[in-house]
Structure 1
Protein backbone atom coordinates (compact mmCIF):
# COMPACT_ATOMS: atom_id res chain seq x y z
CA UNK A 1 0.00 0.00 0.00
CA UNK A 2 1.42 3.43 -0.88
CA UNK A 3 2.71 5.68 1.86
CA UNK A 4 0.18 8.21 3.16
CA UNK A 5 1.18 11.65 1.85
CA UNK A 6 2.27 14.19 4.45
CA UNK A 7 -0.55 16.40 5.67
CA UNK A 8 -3.32 13.98 4.67
CA UNK A 9 -5.34 12.57 7.62
CA UNK A 10 -5.27 8.79 7.81
CA UNK A 11 -9.07 8.47 7.78
CA UNK A 12 -9.34 10.70 4.72
CA UNK A 13 -6.65 8.67 3.00
CA UNK A 14 -8.67 5.49 3.69
CA UNK A 15 -11.76 7.15 2.25
CA UNK A 16 -9.86 8.18 -0.88
CA UNK A 17 -8.66 4.62 -1.25
CA UNK A 18 -12.20 3.29 -1.20
CA UNK A 19 -13.82 6.02 -3.25
CA UNK A 20 -12.69 8.57 -5.81
CA UNK A 21 -14.84 10.98 -7.87
CA UNK A 22 -15.14 8.55 -10.77
CA UNK A 23 -15.84 5.58 -8.53
CA UNK A 24 -12.39 4.08 -9.13
CA UNK A 25 -9.22 3.89 -7.10
CA UNK A 26 -7.40 7.19 -6.72
CA UNK A 27 -5.13 7.82 -9.69
CA UNK A 28 -2.25 8.74 -7.40
CA UNK A 29 -1.87 5.05 -6.68
CA UNK A 30 -1.39 4.02 -10.30
CA UNK A 31 1.87 3.57 -12.11
CA UNK A 32 2.15 5.43 -15.41
CA UNK A 33 3.98 4.87 -18.70
CA UNK A 34 5.55 7.91 -20.40
CA UNK A 35 6.71 7.91 -24.04
CA UNK A 36 9.74 9.84 -25.29
CA UNK A 37 9.26 11.04 -27.97
CA UNK A 38 5.51 11.04 -27.32
CA UNK A 39 4.50 9.46 -30.66
CA UNK A 40 2.54 6.21 -30.45
CA UNK A 41 2.83 5.68 -34.20
CA UNK A 42 6.42 4.96 -35.27
CA UNK A 43 8.30 3.47 -38.21
CA UNK A 44 10.33 0.32 -38.26
CA UNK A 45 13.85 1.31 -37.29
CA UNK A 46 12.74 4.21 -35.07
CA UNK A 47 13.78 4.52 -31.42
CA UNK A 48 11.48 5.23 -28.49
CA UNK A 49 11.89 5.16 -24.70
CA UNK A 50 9.19 4.15 -22.25
CA UNK A 51 9.57 5.34 -18.66
CA UNK A 52 7.67 3.93 -15.69
CA UNK A 53 6.73 6.41 -13.01
CA UNK A 54 3.87 7.66 -10.84
CA UNK A 55 2.26 10.95 -9.91
CA UNK A 56 4.63 10.98 -6.96
CA UNK A 57 8.36 10.39 -7.16
CA UNK A 58 8.93 6.65 -7.31
CA UNK A 59 11.12 6.30 -10.38
CA UNK A 60 13.90 4.76 -8.28
CA UNK A 61 11.81 1.62 -7.80
CA UNK A 62 12.35 -1.45 -10.00
CA UNK A 63 9.15 -1.74 -12.01
CA UNK A 64 7.55 -4.72 -13.67
CA UNK A 65 7.13 -4.27 -17.43
CA UNK A 66 4.30 -5.99 -19.31
CA UNK A 67 4.03 -6.26 -23.09
CA UNK A 68 0.81 -7.67 -24.56
CA UNK A 69 0.07 -9.36 -21.25
CA UNK A 70 3.51 -10.97 -20.92
CA UNK A 71 5.95 -9.91 -18.24
CA UNK A 72 9.31 -8.75 -19.58
CA UNK A 73 12.70 -9.46 -18.05
CA UNK A 74 13.49 -5.72 -17.99
CA UNK A 75 13.34 -4.15 -14.52
CA UNK A 76 14.78 -0.68 -15.13
CA UNK A 77 12.52 2.38 -14.90
CA UNK A 78 13.29 3.10 -18.57
CA UNK A 79 12.59 0.63 -21.36
CA UNK A 80 14.44 1.54 -24.58
CA UNK A 81 13.21 0.24 -27.92
CA UNK A 82 15.99 0.68 -30.46
CA UNK A 83 15.54 -0.13 -34.13
CA UNK A 84 11.87 -0.92 -33.58
CA UNK A 85 10.24 -3.80 -35.41
CA UNK A 86 6.66 -5.02 -35.78
CA UNK A 87 7.12 -7.35 -32.82
CA UNK A 88 7.48 -4.24 -30.65
CA UNK A 89 3.91 -3.19 -31.47
CA UNK A 90 1.20 -3.64 -28.91
CA UNK A 91 0.17 -2.74 -25.39
CA UNK A 92 2.69 -1.68 -22.75
CA UNK A 93 2.05 -1.47 -19.02
CA UNK A 94 4.22 -1.20 -15.94
CA UNK A 95 3.80 -1.59 -12.20
CA UNK A 96 5.87 -0.09 -9.41
CA UNK A 97 5.85 -1.93 -6.09
CA UNK A 98 3.02 -0.63 -3.92
CA UNK A 99 1.15 0.89 -6.86
CA UNK A 100 -1.48 -0.42 -9.22
CA UNK A 101 -0.61 -1.42 -12.75
CA UNK A 102 -0.61 1.46 -15.22
CA UNK A 103 -3.13 2.20 -17.91
CA UNK A 104 -2.04 0.62 -21.21
CA UNK A 105 -0.04 2.60 -23.74
CA UNK A 106 -0.35 1.36 -27.31
CA UNK A 107 2.62 1.45 -29.66
CA UNK A 108 2.16 0.80 -33.37
CA UNK A 109 5.24 0.02 -35.46
CA UNK A 110 4.46 0.33 -39.15
CA UNK A 111 6.08 0.22 -42.58
CA UNK A 112 5.12 3.02 -44.95
CA UNK A 113 6.50 6.13 -46.62
CA UNK A 114 4.67 8.76 -44.61
CA UNK A 115 3.33 8.69 -41.06
CA UNK A 116 1.25 11.23 -39.15
CA UNK A 117 2.26 11.39 -35.50
CA UNK A 118 0.33 13.16 -32.74
CA UNK A 119 1.39 14.13 -29.24
CA UNK A 120 -1.89 12.64 -27.96
CA UNK A 121 -5.00 11.12 -29.46
CA UNK A 122 -7.33 11.84 -26.53
CA UNK A 123 -7.03 15.29 -24.96
CA UNK A 124 -8.76 17.75 -22.65
CA UNK A 125 -9.82 21.21 -23.73
CA UNK A 126 -7.08 23.79 -23.20
CA UNK A 127 -4.19 21.43 -23.93
CA UNK A 128 -1.88 21.70 -26.94
CA UNK A 129 -1.81 19.28 -29.87
CA UNK A 130 1.39 18.68 -31.85
CA UNK A 131 1.31 16.99 -35.24
CA UNK A 132 4.27 15.66 -37.22
CA UNK A 133 4.33 14.42 -40.81
CA UNK A 134 7.15 11.90 -40.46
CA UNK A 135 8.86 10.16 -43.39
CA UNK A 136 10.51 6.77 -43.46
CA UNK A 137 14.22 7.00 -42.61
CA UNK A 138 13.74 10.77 -42.30
CA UNK A 139 13.76 11.25 -46.06
CA UNK A 140 13.06 14.78 -47.24
CA UNK A 141 9.38 15.58 -47.66
CA UNK A 142 8.17 18.48 -49.79
CA UNK A 143 4.82 20.13 -50.46
CA UNK A 144 3.34 18.91 -47.19
CA UNK A 145 -0.38 19.42 -46.53
CA UNK A 146 -2.07 18.66 -43.22
CA UNK A 147 -5.75 17.70 -43.34
CA UNK A 148 -8.60 17.57 -40.83
CA UNK A 149 -11.78 15.79 -41.92
CA UNK A 150 -10.58 15.98 -45.55
CA UNK A 151 -10.17 19.77 -45.33
CA UNK A 152 -6.67 21.21 -45.67
CA UNK A 153 -5.30 22.91 -42.55
CA UNK A 154 -1.78 23.96 -43.47
CA UNK A 155 0.58 23.84 -46.44
CA UNK A 156 4.38 23.79 -46.21
CA UNK A 157 6.75 23.56 -49.13
CA UNK A 158 9.31 22.10 -46.71
CA UNK A 159 8.19 19.77 -43.97
CA UNK A 160 7.33 21.35 -40.61
CA UNK A 161 5.41 20.25 -37.55
CA UNK A 162 2.25 22.10 -36.62
CA UNK A 163 0.74 22.84 -33.23
CA UNK A 164 -2.78 23.70 -32.12
CA UNK A 165 -2.84 25.46 -28.76
CA UNK A 166 -5.82 25.54 -26.41
CA UNK A 167 -7.70 22.82 -28.25
CA UNK A 168 -11.50 22.63 -28.03
CA UNK A 169 -14.06 19.98 -28.89
CA UNK A 170 -14.20 21.50 -32.38
CA UNK A 171 -10.63 20.31 -32.95
CA UNK A 172 -11.77 16.68 -32.70
CA UNK A 173 -11.67 14.85 -36.02
CA UNK A 174 -9.71 12.71 -38.47
CA UNK A 175 -6.23 14.02 -39.29
CA UNK A 176 -3.70 12.98 -41.93
CA UNK A 177 -1.01 14.51 -44.11
CA UNK A 178 0.21 14.35 -47.72
CA UNK A 179 3.59 15.12 -49.19
CA UNK A 180 6.12 14.22 -51.84
CA UNK A 181 8.79 11.69 -50.88
CA UNK A 182 11.47 11.11 -53.52
CA UNK A 183 9.30 13.15 -55.94
CA UNK A 184 6.33 10.80 -55.54
CA UNK A 185 3.06 11.79 -53.77
CA UNK A 186 2.46 9.93 -50.52
CA UNK A 187 -0.43 9.93 -48.04
CA UNK A 188 -0.07 9.12 -44.35
CA UNK A 189 -2.22 7.06 -42.06
CA UNK A 190 -5.33 8.66 -40.55
CA UNK A 191 -5.54 9.50 -36.85
CA UNK A 192 -8.70 10.21 -34.89
CA UNK A 193 -8.09 13.02 -32.40
CA UNK A 194 -10.67 13.38 -29.62
CA UNK A 195 -10.91 16.48 -27.45
CA UNK A 196 -13.05 16.22 -24.32
CA UNK A 197 -14.37 18.86 -21.99
CA UNK A 198 -12.60 18.95 -18.66
CA UNK A 199 -14.87 17.42 -16.08
CA UNK A 200 -16.13 20.07 -13.66
CA UNK A 201 -17.71 18.66 -10.52
CA UNK A 202 -20.10 21.58 -10.08
CA UNK A 203 -21.68 20.83 -13.44
CA UNK A 204 -22.70 17.37 -12.36
CA UNK A 205 -25.91 16.86 -10.42
CA UNK A 206 -24.15 14.07 -8.58
CA UNK A 207 -21.07 16.10 -7.65
CA UNK A 208 -22.03 16.15 -3.96
CA UNK A 209 -21.79 12.35 -3.84
CA UNK A 210 -18.07 12.66 -4.52
CA UNK A 211 -17.67 14.34 -1.15
CA UNK A 212 -20.55 12.72 0.74
CA UNK A 213 -19.49 9.11 0.28
CA UNK A 214 -15.93 9.55 1.60
CA UNK A 215 -17.34 11.69 4.43
CA UNK A 216 -19.83 8.97 5.36
CA UNK A 217 -17.02 6.41 5.37
CA UNK A 218 -15.02 8.59 7.75
CA UNK A 219 -18.06 9.19 10.00
CA UNK A 220 -18.97 5.49 10.11
CA UNK A 221 -15.38 4.60 10.87
CA UNK A 222 -15.27 7.17 13.68
CA UNK A 223 -18.64 6.03 15.12
CA UNK A 224 -17.59 2.40 14.98
CA UNK A 225 -14.33 3.22 16.74
CA UNK A 226 -16.17 5.24 19.41
CA UNK A 227 -18.63 2.38 20.00
CA UNK A 228 -15.77 -0.08 20.33
CA UNK A 229 -14.00 2.13 22.86
CA UNK A 230 -17.26 2.69 24.79
CA UNK A 231 -17.99 -1.04 24.86
CA UNK A 232 -14.50 -1.79 26.10
CA UNK A 233 -14.86 0.79 28.88
CA UNK A 234 -18.26 -0.61 29.93
CA UNK A 235 -16.90 -4.14 29.92
CA UNK A 236 -13.92 -3.04 32.01
CA UNK A 237 -16.26 -1.25 34.44
CA UNK A 238 -18.49 -4.32 34.81
CA UNK A 239 -15.48 -6.52 35.52
CA UNK A 240 -14.26 -4.02 38.11
CA UNK A 241 -17.70 -3.90 39.81
CA UNK A 242 -17.89 -7.69 39.84
CA UNK A 243 -14.45 -8.00 41.44
CA UNK A 244 -15.39 -5.32 44.01
CA UNK A 245 -18.58 -7.13 45.02
CA UNK A 246 -16.78 -10.43 45.29
CA UNK A 247 -14.09 -8.89 47.49
CA UNK A 248 -16.67 -7.17 49.72
CA UNK A 249 -18.57 -10.42 50.20
CA UNK A 250 -15.52 -11.99 51.85
CA UNK A 251 -14.28 -8.96 53.79
CA UNK A 252 -17.51 -7.42 55.17
CA UNK A 253 -18.50 -8.67 58.72
CA UNK A 254 -21.27 -11.26 58.65
CA UNK A 255 -24.42 -10.32 60.60
CA UNK A 256 -24.81 -12.23 63.86
CA UNK A 257 -27.99 -14.23 64.40
CA UNK A 258 -30.49 -12.95 66.93
CA UNK A 259 -30.27 -14.66 70.33
CA UNK A 260 -32.91 -17.31 70.90
CA UNK A 261 -35.91 -16.18 72.85
CA UNK A 262 -36.32 -17.09 76.49
Structure 2
Protein backbone atom coordinates (compact mmCIF):
# COMPACT_ATOMS: atom_id res chain seq x y z
CA UNK A 1 0.00 0.00 0.00
CA UNK A 2 1.40 3.37 -0.99
CA UNK A 3 1.72 5.88 1.85
CA UNK A 4 3.40 8.70 -0.06
CA UNK A 5 2.26 12.00 1.48
CA UNK A 6 0.25 14.39 -0.64
CA UNK A 7 2.10 17.67 -1.16
CA UNK A 8 -0.36 20.47 -2.00
CA UNK A 9 0.85 23.10 -4.46
CA UNK A 10 -0.86 26.49 -4.97
CA UNK A 11 -2.90 26.62 -8.16
CA UNK A 12 -1.06 29.67 -9.41
CA UNK A 13 1.83 31.72 -8.13
CA UNK A 14 3.75 34.53 -9.89
CA UNK A 15 4.02 33.80 -13.59
CA UNK A 16 7.22 34.60 -15.48
CA UNK A 17 7.64 34.96 -19.23
CA UNK A 18 9.84 32.50 -21.03
CA UNK A 19 10.84 32.51 -24.73
CA UNK A 20 10.20 28.78 -25.01
CA UNK A 21 6.50 29.30 -24.23
CA UNK A 22 5.91 30.34 -27.85
CA UNK A 23 6.86 26.80 -28.92
CA UNK A 24 4.04 25.22 -26.92
CA UNK A 25 0.52 24.50 -28.26
CA UNK A 26 -1.71 27.57 -28.46
CA UNK A 27 -4.11 26.18 -25.85
CA UNK A 28 -1.37 25.96 -23.20
CA UNK A 29 -1.52 28.57 -20.47
CA UNK A 30 0.62 28.44 -17.31
CA UNK A 31 -1.00 28.16 -13.89
CA UNK A 32 2.30 27.94 -12.03
CA UNK A 33 5.75 29.56 -12.41
CA UNK A 34 8.90 28.65 -14.30
CA UNK A 35 7.29 28.04 -17.68
CA UNK A 36 7.89 24.70 -19.43
CA UNK A 37 10.18 23.32 -16.69
CA UNK A 38 7.17 22.93 -14.36
CA UNK A 39 4.66 20.11 -14.74
CA UNK A 40 1.27 21.51 -15.74
CA UNK A 41 -2.15 19.90 -15.47
CA UNK A 42 -4.35 21.23 -18.27
CA UNK A 43 -8.13 20.86 -18.22
CA UNK A 44 -10.57 20.92 -21.12
CA UNK A 45 -13.08 22.58 -21.08
CA UNK A 46 -10.78 25.26 -19.59
CA UNK A 47 -12.73 26.03 -16.39
CA UNK A 48 -12.00 25.26 -12.76
CA UNK A 49 -13.14 23.47 -10.80
CA UNK A 50 -14.12 21.06 -13.57
CA UNK A 51 -17.51 19.36 -13.33
CA UNK A 52 -18.11 15.68 -13.90
CA UNK A 53 -21.14 16.20 -16.14
CA UNK A 54 -18.89 17.86 -18.74
CA UNK A 55 -16.67 15.74 -20.97
CA UNK A 56 -13.53 16.53 -18.94
CA UNK A 57 -10.05 15.78 -20.24
CA UNK A 58 -6.93 16.25 -18.13
CA UNK A 59 -3.54 16.53 -19.82
CA UNK A 60 -0.25 16.22 -17.94
CA UNK A 61 2.36 18.39 -19.63
CA UNK A 62 5.99 18.30 -18.53
CA UNK A 63 9.47 17.11 -19.39
CA UNK A 64 10.13 13.49 -20.26
CA UNK A 65 8.20 10.72 -21.99
CA UNK A 66 4.40 10.71 -21.82
CA UNK A 67 4.47 7.11 -20.56
CA UNK A 68 6.46 8.25 -17.51
CA UNK A 69 3.39 10.01 -16.06
CA UNK A 70 2.22 9.11 -12.56
CA UNK A 71 -1.31 10.18 -11.58
CA UNK A 72 -2.56 10.96 -8.08
CA UNK A 73 -6.19 11.16 -7.01
CA UNK A 74 -7.26 12.63 -3.67
CA UNK A 75 -3.66 12.61 -2.47
CA UNK A 76 -2.98 8.93 -3.18
CA UNK A 77 -0.88 7.45 -5.96
CA UNK A 78 -3.42 6.10 -8.39
CA UNK A 79 -1.90 5.20 -11.76
CA UNK A 80 1.80 4.71 -12.46
CA UNK A 81 3.24 4.77 -15.98
CA UNK A 82 -0.09 6.07 -17.19
CA UNK A 83 -0.87 8.09 -20.34
CA UNK A 84 -0.57 11.85 -20.43
CA UNK A 85 -4.30 12.28 -21.29
CA UNK A 86 -7.24 11.18 -19.15
CA UNK A 87 -10.99 11.24 -19.73
CA UNK A 88 -12.29 11.81 -16.22
CA UNK A 89 -15.14 9.60 -14.99
CA UNK A 90 -14.71 10.03 -11.22
CA UNK A 91 -14.91 13.19 -9.11
CA UNK A 92 -11.91 14.07 -6.96
CA UNK A 93 -8.71 16.13 -6.84
CA UNK A 94 -6.10 15.15 -9.44
CA UNK A 95 -2.38 15.83 -9.75
CA UNK A 96 0.25 14.33 -12.03
CA UNK A 97 4.00 13.76 -11.74
CA UNK A 98 6.75 13.75 -14.36
CA UNK A 99 10.31 12.78 -13.31
CA UNK A 100 12.07 15.74 -14.92
CA UNK A 101 9.61 18.48 -13.97
CA UNK A 102 7.97 17.33 -10.73
CA UNK A 103 4.43 17.44 -9.40
CA UNK A 104 1.69 19.52 -11.01
CA UNK A 105 -0.73 21.86 -9.26
CA UNK A 106 -4.00 20.14 -8.28
CA UNK A 107 -7.20 20.19 -10.32
CA UNK A 108 -10.56 19.43 -8.73
CA UNK A 109 -13.39 17.68 -10.58
CA UNK A 110 -16.70 18.11 -8.76
CA UNK A 111 -20.07 16.39 -8.96
CA UNK A 112 -21.92 18.89 -6.75
CA UNK A 113 -25.43 20.11 -7.59
CA UNK A 114 -24.26 23.75 -7.76
CA UNK A 115 -20.74 24.77 -8.81
CA UNK A 116 -19.02 28.12 -9.34
CA UNK A 117 -16.44 28.05 -12.14
CA UNK A 118 -13.69 30.51 -13.10
CA UNK A 119 -11.30 30.43 -16.09
CA UNK A 120 -8.53 27.84 -15.73
CA UNK A 121 -5.69 30.21 -16.60
CA UNK A 122 -3.50 32.81 -14.95
CA UNK A 123 -5.60 35.93 -14.24
CA UNK A 124 -3.83 39.27 -14.71
CA UNK A 125 -4.63 42.88 -13.99
CA UNK A 126 -6.75 44.24 -16.82
CA UNK A 127 -8.22 40.86 -17.76
CA UNK A 128 -11.90 40.03 -17.83
CA UNK A 129 -12.89 37.15 -15.53
CA UNK A 130 -16.18 35.38 -16.20
CA UNK A 131 -17.86 33.65 -13.25
CA UNK A 132 -20.22 30.79 -14.09
CA UNK A 133 -22.81 29.34 -11.68
CA UNK A 134 -23.79 25.88 -12.94
CA UNK A 135 -26.10 23.07 -11.90
CA UNK A 136 -26.28 19.41 -12.90
CA UNK A 137 -28.04 18.71 -16.19
CA UNK A 138 -31.24 17.42 -14.57
CA UNK A 139 -31.67 20.54 -12.42
CA UNK A 140 -32.40 24.22 -12.94
CA UNK A 141 -31.28 27.28 -10.98
CA UNK A 142 -32.99 30.65 -10.62
CA UNK A 143 -32.31 33.83 -8.68
CA UNK A 144 -28.54 33.40 -8.92
CA UNK A 145 -26.35 35.67 -6.79
CA UNK A 146 -22.56 35.95 -6.82
CA UNK A 147 -20.41 36.69 -3.77
CA UNK A 148 -16.85 37.92 -3.29
CA UNK A 149 -15.52 37.41 0.24
CA UNK A 150 -19.19 36.91 1.25
CA UNK A 151 -20.15 40.32 -0.20
CA UNK A 152 -23.16 40.13 -2.52
CA UNK A 153 -22.20 41.20 -6.06
CA UNK A 154 -25.81 41.20 -7.21
CA UNK A 155 -27.75 39.33 -9.85
CA UNK A 156 -26.13 38.81 -13.25
CA UNK A 157 -27.76 40.12 -16.41
CA UNK A 158 -27.27 36.75 -18.16
CA UNK A 159 -28.90 34.75 -15.30
CA UNK A 160 -25.98 32.43 -14.50
CA UNK A 161 -22.82 34.30 -15.58
CA UNK A 162 -21.13 37.47 -14.38
CA UNK A 163 -17.98 39.17 -15.65
CA UNK A 164 -15.51 41.16 -13.56
CA UNK A 165 -13.61 43.70 -15.67
CA UNK A 166 -11.03 45.12 -15.58
CA UNK A 167 -9.47 42.86 -12.97
CA UNK A 168 -7.52 44.57 -10.18
CA UNK A 169 -5.46 43.09 -7.35
CA UNK A 170 -8.26 43.67 -4.85
CA UNK A 171 -10.46 41.29 -6.85
CA UNK A 172 -8.39 38.40 -5.44
CA UNK A 173 -10.05 36.23 -2.82
CA UNK A 174 -12.71 33.57 -2.58
CA UNK A 175 -15.91 33.62 -4.64
CA UNK A 176 -19.08 31.56 -4.48
CA UNK A 177 -22.58 31.65 -5.93
CA UNK A 178 -26.01 30.76 -4.64
CA UNK A 179 -29.43 30.18 -6.14
CA UNK A 180 -32.75 28.34 -5.98
CA UNK A 181 -31.97 24.83 -7.21
CA UNK A 182 -34.52 22.18 -8.11
CA UNK A 183 -36.81 20.75 -10.76
CA UNK A 184 -39.97 21.22 -8.69
CA UNK A 185 -39.72 22.50 -5.13
CA UNK A 186 -36.64 24.71 -5.27
CA UNK A 187 -34.29 25.19 -2.33
CA UNK A 188 -31.57 27.77 -1.85
CA UNK A 189 -28.08 26.32 -2.19
CA UNK A 190 -24.58 27.77 -2.15
CA UNK A 191 -21.62 26.53 -4.16
CA UNK A 192 -18.27 25.63 -2.67
CA UNK A 193 -15.90 28.64 -2.57
CA UNK A 194 -13.29 29.09 -5.30
CA UNK A 195 -10.10 31.06 -4.63
CA UNK A 196 -8.99 33.56 -7.27
CA UNK A 197 -5.55 35.22 -7.41
CA UNK A 198 -5.03 38.27 -9.64
CA UNK A 199 -1.42 38.89 -10.68
CA UNK A 200 0.12 42.27 -11.36
CA UNK A 201 2.67 41.17 -13.96
CA UNK A 202 1.90 40.36 -17.57
CA UNK A 203 3.72 37.21 -18.74
CA UNK A 204 3.82 36.01 -22.33
CA UNK A 205 0.35 36.50 -23.84
CA UNK A 206 -1.21 33.74 -25.92
CA UNK A 207 -3.79 33.89 -28.65
CA UNK A 208 -5.78 30.68 -28.29
CA UNK A 209 -8.93 29.22 -29.85
CA UNK A 210 -9.60 27.43 -26.56
CA UNK A 211 -9.14 30.24 -24.05
CA UNK A 212 -10.81 33.67 -23.95
CA UNK A 213 -8.37 36.40 -24.97
CA UNK A 214 -7.36 38.68 -22.11
CA UNK A 215 -8.38 42.32 -22.03
CA UNK A 216 -5.54 44.77 -21.35
CA UNK A 217 -4.91 48.47 -21.03
CA UNK A 218 -7.14 48.88 -17.97
CA UNK A 219 -6.82 51.98 -15.86
CA UNK A 220 -6.24 51.94 -12.14
CA UNK A 221 -9.29 52.04 -9.93
CA UNK A 222 -11.32 49.66 -12.09
CA UNK A 223 -14.69 48.55 -10.81
CA UNK A 224 -16.92 45.51 -11.02
CA UNK A 225 -19.09 45.47 -14.11
CA UNK A 226 -21.73 43.09 -15.39
CA UNK A 227 -21.32 42.24 -19.08
CA UNK A 228 -23.91 40.78 -21.38
CA UNK A 229 -21.35 39.33 -23.76
CA UNK A 230 -19.65 36.10 -22.70
CA UNK A 231 -16.53 34.73 -24.47
CA UNK A 232 -17.34 31.61 -26.52
CA UNK A 233 -16.71 28.30 -24.81
CA UNK A 234 -14.54 25.66 -26.42
CA UNK A 235 -16.11 22.45 -27.63
CA UNK A 236 -14.32 19.18 -26.98
CA UNK A 237 -14.77 16.66 -29.83
CA UNK A 238 -16.46 13.36 -29.10
CA UNK A 239 -14.23 10.31 -28.85
CA UNK A 240 -15.03 6.64 -29.39
CA UNK A 241 -15.29 4.52 -26.27
CA UNK A 242 -11.68 3.46 -25.45
CA UNK A 243 -10.83 0.14 -23.82
CA UNK A 244 -10.64 0.03 -20.05
CA UNK A 245 -7.12 0.57 -18.73
CA UNK A 246 -5.55 -1.70 -16.08
CA UNK A 247 -5.46 -0.80 -12.41
CA UNK A 248 -2.29 0.91 -11.15
CA UNK A 249 0.46 -1.57 -10.23
CA UNK A 250 2.02 -1.50 -6.74
CA UNK A 251 5.31 -0.10 -8.06
CA UNK A 252 7.85 2.34 -6.54
CA UNK A 253 6.97 6.02 -6.47
CA UNK A 254 9.17 7.18 -9.35
CA UNK A 255 7.75 5.93 -12.66
CA UNK A 256 9.86 4.12 -15.22
CA UNK A 257 10.14 5.15 -18.83
CA UNK A 258 7.65 3.76 -21.30
CA UNK A 259 5.89 4.80 -24.48
CA UNK A 260 2.59 6.49 -23.61
CA UNK A 261 -0.61 6.01 -25.52
CA UNK A 262 -3.18 8.50 -26.71
CA UNK A 263 -6.38 9.53 -24.90
CA UNK A 264 -7.43 6.77 -22.54
CA UNK A 265 -10.49 6.40 -20.35
CA UNK A 266 -9.83 6.68 -16.64
CA UNK A 267 -9.97 3.29 -14.88
CA UNK A 268 -12.07 2.80 -11.78
CA UNK A 269 -10.15 4.42 -8.93
CA UNK A 270 -9.49 2.71 -5.59
CA UNK A 271 -11.14 4.25 -2.55
CA UNK A 272 -9.22 7.30 -1.32
CA UNK A 273 -8.23 7.59 2.32
CA UNK A 274 -8.46 11.31 2.32
CA UNK A 275 -9.15 14.02 -0.21
CA UNK A 276 -11.64 16.72 -1.00
CA UNK A 277 -11.01 20.21 -2.24
CA UNK A 278 -7.50 21.56 -1.67
Q: TM-score, normalised by structure 1?
A: 0.52
Counterpart residue number, 2:136 = 136
Cα–Cα, structure 1 residues 71 and 174, in superposed 2: closer, same or farther, change >3 Å?
Answer: closer
Cα–Cα, structure 1 residues 109 and 195, in superposed 2: closer, same or farther, change >3 Å?
Answer: same
Q: Alignment partner of 1:62: what SS?
A: helix
Counterpart residue number, 1:70 = 77
Give me the whole-angstrom Cα distance separating, in 1, the residues matched to 2:88 and 2:174. 28
State the Cα distance separating 1:138 from its structure 2 match. Answer: 5.2
Q: Alignment partner of 1:170: what SS?
A: helix
State the Cα distance separating 1:170 from its structure 2 match. Answer: 1.7
Give me the whole-angstrom Cα distance separating, in 1, the residues matched to 2:78 and 2:147. 39
The yes-or-no answer on 1:197 pairing with 2:200 is yes
The yes-or-no answer on 1:106 pairing with 2:76 is no
Is the radius of gyration larger for structure 1 or structure 2? 1
> Are the equivalent residues in 1 in contact too, given 2:71–2:82 (CA < 8 A)?
no
> Could you tell which deviates more after superposition, 153-162 or 128-137?
153-162
Cα–Cα, structure 1 residues 166 and 53, in superposed 2: closer, same or farther, change >3 Å?
Answer: farther
Give me the whole-angstrom Cα distance separating, in 1, the residues matched to 2:51 and 2:59. 20
Name the Cα RMSD after superposition: 3.5
Give me the whole-angstrom Cα distance separating, in 1, the residues matched to 2:172 and 2:150. 13
Counterpart residue number, 1:244 = none
Cα–Cα, structure 1 residues 156 and 139, in superposed 2: closer, same or farther, change >3 Å?
Answer: farther
Matched residues, number: 168
In structure 1, the gaps of 5 or more residues are: 7-24, 201-262
State the Cα distance separating 1:180 from its structure 2 match. Answer: 1.5
Cα–Cα, structure 1 residues 137 and 188, in superposed 2: closer, same or farther, change >3 Å?
Answer: same
The yes-or-no answer on 1:33 pairing with 2:38 is no
In structure 2, the gaps of 5 or more residues are: 1-18, 21-32, 204-278
> Are the equivalent residues in 2 in contact too, given 1:144–1:157 (CA < 8 A)?
no
Counterpart residue number, 2:177 = 177
Counterpart residue number, 1:13 = none
Give me the whole-angstrom Cα distance separating, in 2, the residues matched to 1:121 and 1:100. 19
Give 1:226-241 correspondences, 5 Å limit: none
Could you say which structure has the higher helix fraction? 1
Give me the whole-angstrom Cα distance separating, in 2, the residues matched to 1:128 and 1:59. 35
> Are the equivalent residues in 2 in contact too, given 1:32–1:94 (CA < 8 A)?
no
Query: Which structure has the higher relative contact order (CA within 8 Å, separation 6+)?
Result: 2
Cα–Cα, structure 1 residues 47 and 157, in superposed 2: closer, same or farther, change >3 Å?
Answer: same
Cα–Cα, structure 1 residues 91 and 78, in superposed 2: closer, same or farther, change >3 Å?
Answer: closer
Q: Alignment partner of 2:137: what SS?
A: helix
State the Cα distance separating 1:46 from its structure 2 match. Answer: 4.8
